[in-house]
Amino acid sequence: MPLDVIMPALGMAQDTGRIVAWHKASGDAVAAGDVLFEVETDKATMEVEAQEPGFLTDVAAAAGDDVPVGDVIARIADAPGDSASPSPAPSDNASSPADALPEGNSVIMPTLGMAQDTGQLVAWHKTPGEAVAEDDILFEVETDKSTVEVPAGFDGYVAAQLAEAGEDVPVGDIIAIISATPPDTPVVRRHATQTVANNTPPAAEDTNRKPSPPPKPDPERRTNAAPAGTPRSDGRILASPKARRLAREQGLDLEHLVQAGHPQPYHVRDLEVLKALPTQAQAMQAQASQPARRLTAELTSVDLAAFTNWAAEHADIGDPRALLAGLAGAGLERDDAVVAVEQPGGLRHFHVPRGALGGVTPHDGEDPSPDLILRDLRQARITTVAIGPEHAPVLTLTTCGEGLSLTLECSAEQLSGPAAVTLLSETAGRLEQPLRHLL
């Protein structure tokens, strides 16, 4: 005779318990002591175990349901087919042929948190019609506090995907159907366009509906997946709860993965990548350990203001920063150098090709890594600089009497000795006689 599984009482004043997740599916074999599901009250969350061996049947509540204490939510039978409940009657609200969903096992949006009403579908890891195994990751879902991978829960084929990446789906709504045979025409829909009828699976398969298996935040194996999520514009980092916990325990900062361009969401395996990244202190130490180069040059008489006005009037070059970028970048002798011009209050990047100054163009979009930084301190009171190597060679302009002082600082790795001498000499010559570079 089947054994009833009821909602337990976890507290003195408890009237109901919320099912957080099922650890066994309908039809699964269970042993005494196996965890069947997790239940949550206002004060506690606990795992509920099977009291006898058998097969789980008649699952009557889904993840996210609030169930009164003492209500039967499942049964443990002696055989997989044993059931104490009558077969469901055919639905009077069957979908129209155009809206009918394929037959199969339904996968729903799982409950991942105490106050969760919806989950955002981050990415699908399987394509429509693709074969899946029970433990294959089917999709990733994000709530306010976590991002987890959800397995398919069934062997079969992806017969329907009923939500798109980026959509918020209410907990318990069907978002996929796994069929036993390859579908002739897989169904792909946005969740927002579905009707209530579309959310009802075929009556023949109602007995197979079950909550998604417990999410697996950090599986060791990832199947061929859709492209990983891109960094969020709101600055939030997508990571599994286990990855966050281990990172916190090990003193690791997930922000370093973001800065390195490593794709989100992050899982436990990504912590090894994080550990291999050089820390900011290590980068500074490595930079400081490199032999530093510092070269200076003085120009006794330079009138850049007059040349800037002339270039704007006669050569249609109206941005003084573009002139400086072109005069300095030409000394790198590259087909397309990126020069960052830094002035008090702003930084602008320019592409400097070989040739005349008229070919210099501003860089639009995300700032690239520059080949040279030109730091213009002519309006400052600073006359001498000795800062040391930075992430790119730095050429600093300061006022020296009626002329200019040029200081080039870099590491030996950034510029060889001859290259540093050439860069400073060429730049000084062009600043002294800028017209020769304008043509």
DSSP state of 229: B
Question: What architecture is the 95-227 domain classified under in CATH?
Answer: Beta Barrel (2.40)
Of 427, 403, 405, the closest CA to residue 415 belongs to: 427
Residue 236 neighbours by CB under 8 Å, 6+ apart: none
Burial class (CB in 10 A: 0-12, 13-18, 19+), 240: buried
Q: Which tokens in the block code for residue 326? A: 């072109």
pTM, full prediction: 0.37
Residue 242 φ then ψ, to 5°: -65, -40
**How far, in Å, CA of 165 to CA of 50, rounded?**
36
Q: How many CA atoms lie within 13 A of 264 on its CB side?
A: 24
Residues in the chain: 439
Q: Is 307 helix (H, G, I), strand (E, B) or coil?
A: helix
Q: What are phi and psi of 177, to 5 degrees?
A: -130, 130
Q: Where, residue-wise, is CATH 2.40.50.100 in the chain?
A: 1-86, 95-227
Contacts of 256 (CB under 8 A, 6+ apart): 274, 277, 279
How are strands ordered across the β-sheet holding 118-124?
147-151, 137-142, 118-124, 168-170
pLDDT tens per residue, the chain (439 residues)?
A: 678 888 876 654 566 788 888 898 888 899 988 889 888 876 667 788 888 899 989 888 888 888 887 788 888 888 876 665 544 444 444 444 435 788 999 888 876 654 457 788 888 999 999 999 998 999 988 866 667 888 888 999 999 999 988 888 887 788 999 999 999 888 988 876 554 444 444 444 444 444 444 444 444 333 333 334 444 445 668 777 677 778 888 888 888 888 888 888 788 888 888 888 876 555 555 555 567 899 999 988 777 777 778 777 777 777 888 888 888 888 888 888 899 999 887 888 998 888 767 778 888 767 678 999 999 998 888 889 998 888 899 999 998 888 889 999 999 889 999 999 999 998 888 888 777 665 5
In the CATH hierarchy, which fold is given to the domain comprising 1-86? Answer: OB fold (Dihydrolipoamide Acetyltransferase, E2P) (2.40.50)
Residue that is written with structure tokens 């003193």 in the block: 251
Question: 381 is written with which tokens?
Answer: 């009171």
Which amino acid would we find at residue 79? A
290-438: CATH topology is Chloramphenicol Acetyltransferase (3.30.559)
* Assigned token pair, 119: 């989950």
Q: Where in the chain is the domain with CATH 3.30.559.10?
A: 290-438
